[in-house]
Structure 1
Amino acid sequence: MKLKPQFLALVATLPFFATNAFATNGYFMNAYSVTSQGNSGTSIANFQDSLTIASNPAGLSWIGQRFDASATLFMPDREADIVGNGAGADGHYDGNSRKSFVIPSFGYSHPVNDQLTAGIAVYGNGGMDTNYKKNPYASFNNTGSAGVSLSQLFISPALSWKYADNQSIALAANILYQRFQAKGIGGDVFGGFSQDKNAMSNRGNDDSTGVGARIGWSAKVNDRLTVGATYASKIHASRFKKYEGLFAENGSFDVPENYGVGLNYQLTPTLSVAADYQRINYSDVKSVGNQLDVAQVMAGNTFGTANGPGFGWKDINVYKISATYQALPKLTLRAGYSYNDQPVQANQAFLNILAPGVVQQHVSVGATWNIDPKQEVSLAYTRALEKTVHGSISPAFGGGQANLSMDQDILGVSYGLKF
Structure 2
Amino acid sequence: MHNQNFARVTALAIGIVGALAMGQTHASGFQIKENSTKALGRAFAGSGAASGDVSVVSNNPAAMSTFKQSAVQADVAVIDLSADFTGGGKTAVGTTLTGGNGGDPGDATPVPSIAAIFPIGDTGMTLGAQVSAPFGLKTEYDRNWVGRYNAVKSDVKTVDLTLAASFDFSSEVSIGVGLIYQRAEATLSNALDMGTALCASPNPAACFNPAFPFHPQGNDGFVEVKGDDTGIGWVIGMHIHPNERTAIGFSHRSEIDHDLEGTADFTMPASVAVALAAARPGQFVDTTALAPLTTPAVDTISISYGITDNFKVLADFSRTQWSSLENVTIYFNSRQAPSVEQFQWKDTTFWSIGGEWELNDKFTLRAGYAEDQSPTKIETRTPRLPDADRQWGSIGLTWNVSPAFEVNAAYTRIFVDDPKIANIHSSTASTLTGSYDADVNIFGVSAQYKF
Normalising by the smaller structure, the TM-score range is 0.7 to 0.9
Look up the match of 2:75: 70
Q: Is the 8 A contact 1:250 1:304 kept in 2?
A: no
Q: Is the 8 A contact 2:352 2:369 kept in 1?
A: yes
Cα distance, 1:308–1:387 mapped onto 2, change above 3 Å: same
Residue of 154, 177, 181 corresponding to 2:183: 177
Instruction: Tell me, yes or no, if structure 1 residue 96 matches structure 2 residue 104.
Output: yes
Question: Which AA in structure 1 matches 2:116?
Answer: Y
Q: Show CA shifts across 1:107-141 (max 9, x none).
A: 1000013310000011111210111114456685x
Look up the match of 1:168: 174
Provide the rounded CA distance (Å) in 2 between the counterparts of 1:53 and 1:403.
39
Instruction: Tell me, yes or no, if structure 1 residue 274 matches structure 2 residue 323.
Output: no
Q: Is the 8 A contact 2:33 2:134 kept in 1?
A: no
Cα distance, 1:87–1:109 mapped onto 2, change above 3 Å: farther
Q: CA deviation at 1:414?
A: 0.6
Q: CA deviation at 1:189?
A: 11
Q: Is the 8 A contact 1:82 1:91 kept in 2?
A: no
Look up the match of 2:224: 202
Provide the rounded CA distance (Å) in 1 between the counterparts of 2:33 and 2:79.
12
- Which structure carries more helix by proportion? 1
Q: Show CA shifts across 1:358-417 (max 9, x none).
A: 251111100000001000000000111142123321689566732134211100111100
Look up the match of 2:359: 327
Q: CA deviation at 1:342?
A: 2.2
Look up the match of 1:48: 52
Instruction: Tell me, yes or no, if structure 1 residue 121 matches structure 2 residue 130.
Output: yes
**If the length of structure 1 is used for normalisation, what is the TM-score?**
0.81
Q: CA deviation at 1:188?
A: 5.8
Secondary structure of the residue aligned to 1:54 is helix
Q: Which has the higher contact order (CA 8 A, sep 6+)?
A: 2
Identity of aligned residues (%): 23
Counterparts in 2 of 1:217-366, with a 5 A limit? 217-242=238-263, 250-287=290-327, 305=338, 308-349=340-381, 352-358=382-388, 360-366=390-396
**If the length of structure 2 is used for normalisation, what is the TM-score?**
0.75
Cα distance, 1:404–1:268 mapped onto 2, change above 3 Å: same
Q: Unpaired runs of 5+ in structure 2?
A: 1-20, 199-221, 266-283, 330-335
Residue of 53, 61, 64 corresponding to 2:65: 61
Secondary structure of the residue aligned to 2:111 is strand
Q: Show CA shifts across 1:256-285 (max 9, x none).
A: 111111111111111101111111112202
Secondary structure of the residue aligned to 1:36 is helix
Q: Is the 8 A contact 1:243 1:251 kept in 2?
A: no
Q: Is the 8 A contact 1:389 1:404 kept in 2?
A: yes
Q: Is the 8 A contact 2:99 2:146 kept in 1?
A: no
Task: Spell out structure 1 runs of 4+ moving beyond 6 A.
Answer: 189-192
Residue of 18, 32, 36 corresponding to 1:33: 36
Instruction: Tell me, yes or no, if structure 1 residue 157 matches structure 2 residue 163.
Output: yes
Provide the rounded CA distance (Å) in 2 between the counterparts of 1:254 and 1:120.
24
Report how many residues are paired. Answer: 373
Provide the rounded CA distance (Å) in 2 between the counterparts of 1:342 and 1:22.
12
RMSD: 3.0
Question: Which AA in structure 2 matches 1:237?
Answer: H
Provide the rounded CA distance (Å) in 2 between the counterparts of 1:284 and 1:161.
31
Provide the rounded CA distance (Å) in 2 between the counterparts of 1:210 and 1:395.
31
Question: Which AA in structure 2 matches 1:108?
Answer: A
Q: Unpaired runs of 5+ in structure 1?
A: 1-17, 193-199, 291-302
Q: Show CA shifts across 1:37-71 (max 9, x none).
A: 10111202123321111211111000232000121
Provide the rounded CA distance (Å) in 2 between the counterparts of 1:276 and 1:191.
50
Q: Is the 8 A contact 1:80 1:403 kept in 2?
A: yes
